[in-house]
Amino acid sequence: MTSSTINSASSSVKSRGDVFANKIETKITDEQSPDHNPYHVNKQLIHGYDHLDLLENCNFADVIYLLLRGNLPSEKDSLLFNKLALALINPGPRHPAAQASITAGVGKSDTVNILPIALGVYGGTFDGAGNIELTMRFLRKAAKKLVVEFEEDALNKKIPSITQHYGDADTYANILLEKLKPYAIEGNVFSWLCQLQTLIYSKNIGVTKTSIAAAVFADLGFQPRQGGALMQLLAAPGLLAHGLEFSNKPVTAMLFEPDETYHIETTNNE
Amino acid sequence: MNNYQPWEKYHGRIVSSRGGWKIGSGVQNCGYDMMNDLVGKTSYMQVVVLNATGRLPSKAIADWIEAIHICLSWPDPRIWCNRIGALAGSSRTSGVAANCLGVLAAESSSYGIKPLISGVEFIEHAYAQINKGITVENFITEEIKKHGGKPYLMGYARPIAKGDERISAMEVVTEKLGFPIGEHLSLAYKIEAILNTEFDESMNINGYVSAFLADQGFSAVEVYRMFSAVVLSGVTACYADTADRLEGSFAPLKTTDVVYKGTPLRSI
């Protein structure tokens, strides 16, 4: 190569001199070491609470809340967070993420890979966590206004996670919305969402599990950027259970559509 | 002296045998200058093998490995890793996630990457046994005993279908690239001949690839690292196909498509 072939000034590479942290900082965890080994821990604080105290005195969901929000939930918020976690816990075997989980299980993928696979698919926008950040941002703003102002947009599917599921308003999401009302109705965003549902459900469009989760998360004070991963976390048990159920089954226990039902479309390359 | 001393030499620093980027002086890769020695002078697959093994293979070996990558990944969403890609597309998961999830699924004991490890280990074991003086017939008899009398030797008897059209395609590639039949592959053919006569079973593509790569001096661990993303292109195809269709439309299931065989309704 001769220098005459180099035309771009980018050939000279220099550091920009950016200053990077020389230690990571966190507000979540403080670990302390015993004298004999600085890689070991003999005490851990989570947002100031001794981990062992949490182990003795708290339930699992409360410590998830603590990790993400920085404080333990009030009794009322704890109840709501637990109820939402139960509402989302099992997307069911027909959900594409559960289908992926089952496929990984029956395909004898390493069992430690089943959950990441299922949660990855659950990160999609179809009945999953993919749109929840956007939905939380929208609902937090919209809930400050009158719900009737949004009826037309909702009916035209212009509100994130307000839609149809397989062609109709989501039946089970509506049931879950009703079931969560006693625990969540005092929240501004959830209350607003319920009002919207009242306006639109009879017109065959409505809330989804994603919009319900978004409303509750927003009322509990979670940030939109936390929403997607948190929704994945809450759906994980059901998704994992279905994959593991199939991990000991023969590969023939899963669908393998016969050639007769497999239609290959013609393309321009033929 | 403390017990954590072995970790201390890595504390606060990165140690790499492969290379890295030193700003202003370029990118080193296994002793090669990336921009001057590799870019435009080697194929992508040569660099994949270099990164996996630390050794730069010949262009011919890299071309062979590229060809087998084509053989081992096809756009059929019924294949498990591809099905996950298809489900991801249908669910409007991101393309990058879909590809990673499909690759992750292929870390399977049934298909994908793990059987390649077992395949290389099997043919190396077989080769060692034959060199000790055991006949091929006796070796097969002993192996079949391990599998309850069934001829399910690693690298033989393909799941779902009998026969493997990919082997004949790769035999053409092998010959075209000028590779002779090595000692491991030769043994693999001998095993196949016996299994074919006695059980109507033949070598599968895993057996062929494992034997060829063993002849080229690759270890099972190196093969695993070289082929980590072997299913990628098929996953991409299945993702792209369903991502362009109606959401939720890949293999949608009605409630009646799932049979419940658990405990009937009960109260808490």
A-chain residues near B8 (CB < 8 A): none
Predicted confidence at residue A3, as pLDDT, reads 56
What is the torsion angle, in degrees rounded to the nearest 10, for the CA atoms of residue A236, residue B81, residue B231 and residue B202? Answer: 140
Whether A214 and A135 have beta carbons less than 8 Å apart is answered as: yes
Exposure string over B103-123, b if 16+ CB within 10 A, otherwise e: bbbbbbeebbbbbbbebbbbb
B-chain residues near A120 (CB < 8 A): 88, 93, 97-98, 100-101, 104
**Count of CB atoms situated within 10 Å of the CB of B33:** 14
Predicted confidence at residue B152, as pLDDT, reads 84
Whether residues B80 and A123 touch (CB distance < 8 A) is answered with: no
Distance CA A177, CA A180 (A): 5
Whether residues A103 and B105 touch (CB distance < 8 A) is answered with: yes
- The tokens describing B69, both together, are 């990558």
Distance from CA of A113 to the nearest CA of B (A): 6
In a domain, B10, yes or no: no
ipTM score of complex: 0.92
Predicted confidence at residue B104, as pLDDT, reads 97
Overall average pLDDT of the A13-39 stretch? 94
Helix (H) or strand (E) holding A182: helix A171-184
pLDDT score of A269 more than 80: yes
Distance CA B161, CA A196 (A): 54
pLDDT score of A1 more than 70: no
- Give A46's contacts (C-beta < 8 A, 6+ positions apart): A28, A29, A54, A63, A66, A67
Domains of chain A by residue range: 29-73, 87-251
In a domain, B194, yes or no: yes
Predicted confidence at residue A15, as pLDDT, reads 87
- The 10s digit of each residue's pLDDT in B32-89 is 999 999 999 999 999 999 999 999 999 999 999 999 999 999 999 999 999 999 999 9
Overall average pLDDT of the A153-166 stretch? 97
Distance CA B167, CA A194 (A): 61
Predicted confidence at residue A4, as pLDDT, reads 64
Overall average pLDDT of the B5-26 stretch? 93
In a domain, B235, yes or no: no
How many residues in total does chain B contain?
A: 268
- Give B140's contacts (C-beta < 8 A, 6+ positions apart): B153, B191, B194, B195
Predicted confidence at residue B67, as pLDDT, reads 97
Choose from A14, A111, A115, A117 for mutation: most chain B CBs within 10 A: A117
- The 10s digit of each residue's pLDDT in B120-152 is 999 999 999 999 999 999 999 999 999 888 888
Distance CA B227, CA B103 (A): 10
In a domain, B22, yes or no: no
Distance CA B102, CA B118 (A): 21
Q: How far is CA B142 from CA A12, B40, B124, B151, B195, in A?
A: 64, 50, 16, 11, 13
pLDDT band for position A12 (cuts 50, 70, 90): confident
What is the torsion angle, in degrees rounded to the nearest 10, for the CA atoms of residue A86, residue A87, residue A93 and residue A97? Answer: -100
In a domain, B136, yes or no: yes
Whether residues A13 and B108 touch (CB distance < 8 A) is answered with: no
Whether A253 and A235 have beta carbons less than 8 Å apart is answered as: no
- Give A250's contacts (C-beta < 8 A, 6+ positions apart): A106
**Helix ranges restricted to H, chain B:** 5-8, 44-53, 59-71, 80-90, 95-105, 114-131, 136-146, 165-176, 183-199, 205-215, 220-226, 232-243
Q: What domain count does chain B have? A: 1
Nearest CA in chain A to B37: A1
User: What rounded mean pLDDT belongs to chain B?
Assistant: 95
Whether residues A130 and B107 touch (CB distance < 8 A) is answered with: no
Nearest CA in chain B to A16: B23
- Give B45's contacts (C-beta < 8 A, 6+ positions apart): B62, B63, B65, B66, B69
Distance from CA of A116 to the nearest CA of B (A): 8
Distance CA B18, CA B16 (A): 5
Whether A30 and A44 have beta carbons less than 8 Å apart is answered as: yes
- Out of A103-112, A250-259, B44-53, B213-222, pick the least confident: A250-259
Overall average pLDDT of the B194-206 stretch? 92
Distance from CA of A67 to the nearest CA of B (A): 26
Whether A133 and A125 have beta carbons less than 8 Å apart is answered as: no
Amino acid occupying residue A80: L
- Give B76's contacts (C-beta < 8 A, 6+ positions apart): B82, B234, B238
Distance CA B237, CA B250 (A): 14
Amino acid occupying residue B103: V
A122 lies within 8 A of chain B by CB? yes
Q: Is B263 helix (H, G, I), strand (E, B) or coil?
A: coil
Distance CA A184, CA B137 (A): 72
pLDDT band for position A6 (cuts 50, 70, 90): confident
Q: Which residues of B touch A (CB under 8 A)?
A: 2-4, 7, 23-24, 26, 78, 80-81, 83-84, 87-88, 90-94, 97-98, 100-101, 104-111, 159-160, 247-248, 250-255, 257-258
Distance CA B200, CA B166 (A): 18
Range of the domain at B216: 114-226
Distance from CA of A145 to the nearest CA of B (A): 31
Whether B249 and B242 have beta carbons less than 8 Å apart is answered as: yes
A263 lies within 8 A of chain B by CB? no
In a domain, B170, yes or no: yes
Predicted confidence at residue A8, as pLDDT, reads 82
DSSP state, A187?
S
CATH of the domain at B181: 1.10.230.10
Distance CA B206, CA B118 (A): 9
pLDDT band for position A88 (cuts 50, 70, 90): very high
Distance from CA of B131 to the nearest CA of A (A): 34
In a domain, B38, yes or no: no
Whether residues B257 and A13 touch (CB distance < 8 A) is answered with: no
Distance CA A210, CA A215 (A): 9
Distance CA B127, CA B132 (A): 9
Q: How far is CA A32 from CA A35, A37, A43, A215, B243, in A?
A: 10, 10, 5, 38, 48
Whether residues A126 and B92 touch (CB distance < 8 A) is answered with: yes
Q: Is B20 helix (H, G, I), strand (E, B) or coil?
A: strand
Nearest CA in chain B to A255: B78
- The 10s digit of each residue's pLDDT in B150-182 is 888 999 988 778 888 999 999 999 999 999 999
In a domain, B157, yes or no: yes
Angle, in degrees to the nearest 10, between helices A224-246 and A132-142? 140
